[in-house]
Amino acid sequence: MRPETEAELADMIASASAPICVRGGGTRGVHLEGGVLETGGLSGITLYEPGSLTLVAQAGTPLAEIEAALDAEGQRLAFEPMDQRGLLGTSGEPTIGGVVAANISGPRRVSVGACRDFMLGVRYVDGAGAVVKNGGRVMKNVTGYDLVKLMSGSWGTLGVLTEVSLKVLPKPETAACVLIDGLSDADAVQAMAKALGSPFEVSGAAHIPAGLNGHPVTMLRLEGFAGSVAYRADQVAGLFGGMAVRVERDPDAVAKGWAWVRDVDPFHAQPGDVWRVSCTPTGAAVLASKLGAEALLYDWGGGLIWARVPEGTDLRSRLGAFDGHATLVRGSGQAKFQPDAAPIAALSRGLRARFDPKGILNTGLMG
């Protein structure tokens, strides 16, 4: 099924009695029971007001099309959505609806927030075939149910997105990256916390135990006006006197390096399962030591751990109880999402029953 209009999509869902697998650009590698419903026919930027920092697009609009339109006006999606195709070995074209549905957010989340924090409004069709609109085209306090936030990260289990409204931001004039070589994981987490807690507006903090040359490297990004970036990069580097510190000032090299982090490039074409572990940064190094991982990448100052482990590894049993959750990004045979605690699971079931009374949308994906 590939509807070309919202009304056609509503009719399809209203008449459906069997499970439906909702698919955007087909880049996430999620395979579920039921007939496939593709949103690619709902495509196009419907409103873009650079002066108001506002963009509205249909859910099936390719992400590349949106980024090109923003780039022409010197703007960007500040939450830095990753491209998972290399990691998952998939093809297809990422869509803005898929980004929102999965709340895809890259390294800059640590400083500006997640995809859902830039959402202004949504239109979607719920599991009964009703068209729902929530939010608008400006940032404001929400009254009633904040369905905009609820739909961001719901993975198509509560409704099929047809249109999204987003806040965009100007692109910075330049960027630099402070690099610290040779730190242990524990020392790197402390260094990232120190940089993020400084007044120098670090917009990215990552650590790769085996960097481009096989040696540990910690990366701290600065963005903004050229003079400010130059000053702040020197100040951040000065926080780590006595360590092996260098500063990359070529903005193209900085962009390439952070795309490497954003897309988890060192895990591409490498065997094994890939897990995404969200945790408290202070406990990241200890938590990572329990993983038995073949490769690690820390992002968000240690709040996000990417782990590549042997195929079939039950990572959750290795971790035990901890303050966070583990998501299976690449692999099979285990639940993609960590089971919720009983009270949250009951709330989730209630929401799905309300939004998808026939139980047909991406059945089984989120428990």
Domain containing 251 — which CATH number?
3.30.70.2190
Q: Between β-strands 35-38 and 20-23, what pairing exists: parallel, antiparallel or unpaired?
A: parallel
| Same domain, residue pair 122 and 16 | yes
> Residue 146's pLDDT is what?
80
336 in a domain, yes or no? Answer: no
Last residue of a domain, one of 244, 262, 280: 262
| Same domain, residue pair 311 and 238 | no
Q: Are 229 and 176 in contact (CB under 8 A)?
A: yes
Nearest to 309 by CA among 331, 294, 326: 294
What is the CATH classification number for the domain harbouring 134? Answer: 3.30.465.10
Domain count, the chain: 3
Using CA atoms, how far residue 158 sits from 127, 306, 350, in Å, is 7, 27, 11
Determine how many CB atoms are found less than 10 A away from the CB of residue 3. Answer: 22
Residue 112: CB partners within 8 Å, gap ≥ 6? 78, 79, 169, 203
| Same domain, residue pair 11 and 154 | yes
15 in a domain, yes or no? Answer: yes
| Same domain, residue pair 53 and 154 | yes
- Domain of 288 in residue numbering reads as 265-330
| Same domain, residue pair 166 and 75 | yes
CA 144 to chain centroid, in Å, comes to 26
Nearest to 62 by CA among 43, 86, 46: 43
| Same domain, residue pair 160 and 291 | no
Q: What is the DSSP string of 252-277?
A: HHHHHHHHHHHTTGGGTT--SEEEEE
> Residue 137's pLDDT is what?
58
Q: Show pLDDT as tens, one digit a residue, over the chain (367 residues).
A: 888 999 999 999 999 888 888 887 777 766 777 788 888 899 999 999 999 999 999 999 999 999 999 999 999 999 999 999 999 988 888 999 999 999 999 999 999 999 999 999 999 999 999 999 887 655 444 445 688 888 999 888 899 999 999 999 999 999 999 999 999 999 999 999 999 999 999 999 999 998 777 799 999 999 999 999 999 999 999 999 889 999 999 999 999 999 999 999 999 999 999 999 999 999 999 999 999 999 999 999 999 999 999 999 999 999 988 889 999 999 988 888 888 788 888 888 888 889 999 988 888 777 6
| Same domain, residue pair 50 and 152 | yes
- The pTM is what? 0.91
| Same domain, residue pair 166 and 252 | no
Torsion over CA: 324, 122, 23, 258 (sign): negative
Residue 11 burial class via C-beta count within 10 angstroms: exposed 0-12, middle 13-18, buried 19 and up? middle
Last residue of a domain, one of 220, 243, 262: 262
| Same domain, residue pair 109 and 22 | yes
> Residue 136's pLDDT is what?
65
Residue 315 sits at φ, ψ, to 5 deg, of -65, -35
363 in a domain, yes or no? Answer: no
